[in-house]
Structure 1
């Protein structure tokens, strides 16, 4: 087991190494999808339990203070482990203070509104943690790889995919940045995780889903079709992360080939983000404190 001092140093490096600076050009090829720092798998369970415990304590203060909300966004290629990461990193928190949304293909009603409409509806209230499994970023990821989906939005001036060029995507990034900036200025803290999976590891996980009857439901033939667009998706992710990683809404590129390590990294970043808020339980006014003491006397005197 790592010494506590060494573990703390490694964790600090996780935040530093995985966080994407504002306006920084990136290549996902530069990120090792199998990176595990100096951790060993046998150390992971105990460390994750400690991080989950800290998350629960901080979430309780977040809920009580009712000043901030935390929005956590998960994006990834299929089989990168989003569901498992959410399940394990958030396993200790109070369900009353957390809400999870998994976004699927937009409905007819959702297509009749702007692309952010359904995401506004799913934002966490003050004091709560909101988790978006996929998010408004699908509109600059899947829709960028398949621009024909944009046509379903029936946007004025967009008659064919020929009308969807570089300027269109730049405007969409600007819209997302303005959306997240507004949320941040009103008390929503945003962290965005891209679970970076290798193509070879995705293949292995797909094969396991096919061979394991209990996991067949997780697999779709459409997953193979999307896999054929791998390079296009990597470019779409690079463009989106570069354009929208801001200090108030940073992206973190998380190595996802080793699920146990990605969960540790995600938990650490969540804990550090909440710690930075310097959360405290509310302090009652002096008059209310007097009433508390009076109530105590009445109860103890029964």
Structure 2
């Protein structure tokens, strides 16, 4: 079984049945695991150089998860060895007044990866079927329509050369409590703390339900969801790095063919 198969979600995935503390890839040596992550990150960087040079295919990585699940940490740990010219990280916040004047996918489509680029979405279009359902800003019928629209959108991206990888970073409620408390206790991390996170935490069970529903409704072979146990930050990065590496290796990336006019050319 490949690592992708090990973490692949299904149409029956229910988050509440998954163990957020699982560490199936861990060697038991945290230092060794971190060295492995760095080695894989460097391999991803080499593949990205080929992606950028060929200027043909594109990669979209979607990171979703509850507050403190480690989206920023994943960006740093997994994608930190990539040449900045070939990667873009987009963090989605509450939509602006201008964005609200358009359909909910308008701001998303503007940020999808260009040829030769990896785009990492730190939160994404999935917020429009998550927080909107938890707070009853849209009803079930509208949510179902959005699932269909998202499926169509992602299929279009895939059919036009974008490889899509979607990750749900799964932490336990107790782990979130500990991480939020750490931010409160450390003044240097106060900038990370939003009092609104405590209000959203009250809807924990509702979020687990709508996440499960969204994953079930939008998992597809061309846009797969991976459920990543994320209580361990090191294991989280190890799992995601391996999945990204496997996916990019399957893309059969290569540098463009040599230019005939440059063969045997001597620079004077």
Structure 2 length as normaliser, TM-score?
0.96
How many Å separate the matches in 1 of 2:189 and 2:77?
18
Q: Which of 25, 33, 43 is matched with 1:54 structurally?
A: 43
Structure 1 residue 252, shift from structure 2 partner: 0.5
Q: What's the secondary structure of 2:209's corresponding residue?
A: helix
Aligned to 1:101: 90
Q: What's the secondary structure of 1:104's corresponding residue?
A: coil
Consecutive unaligned residues of structure 2, counting only runs of 5 or more, are none
Q: Which of 227, 231, 255 is matched with 1:253 structurally?
A: 227
How many Å separate the matches in 2 of 1:110 and 1:293?
51
Q: Which of 159, 162, 168 is matched with 1:188 structurally?
A: 162
Residue by residue, what CA displacement relative to the aligned partner does 1:138-192 show, whole Å, maximum 9, x if unpaired?
A: 00001111123x5xxxxxxxxxxxxx2x222111100000000000000011000
The structure with more radius of gyration: 1
How many Å separate the matches in 2 of 1:16 and 1:43?
24
Aligned to 2:33: 44
Map 1:63-78 → 2, pairs under 5 A: 63-78=52-67
Structure 1 residue 294, shift from structure 2 partner: 5.0
Q: Which of 94, 110, 113 is matched with 2:99 structurally?
A: 110
Aligned to 1:199: 173
List structure 1 runs of 4+ shifted beyond 4 angstroms.
Answer: none
How many Å separate the matches in 2 of 1:261 and 1:246?
25
Consecutive unaligned residues of structure 1, counting only runs of 5 or more, are 1-8, 151-163
Q: Which of 252, 256, 263 is matched with 1:293 structurally?
A: 263
Structure 1 residue 119, shift from structure 2 partner: 0.3
Structure 1 residue 20, shift from structure 2 partner: 1.4
How many equivalent residue pairs? 266
How many Å separate the matches in 2 of 1:139 and 1:45?
34
Residue by residue, what CA displacement relative to the aligned partner does 1:184-235 show, whole Å, maximum 9, x if unpaired?
A: 0000110001000100000000110000011011111111100000000000
Structure 1 length as normaliser, TM-score?
0.86
Structure 1 residue 42, shift from structure 2 partner: 2.7
Aligned to 1:28: 15
Residue by residue, what CA displacement relative to the aligned partner does 1:32-85 show, whole Å, maximum 9, x if unpaired?
A: 101111422232111011101110111011111111100000001001111011
Q: What's the secondary structure of 1:295's corresponding residue?
A: coil
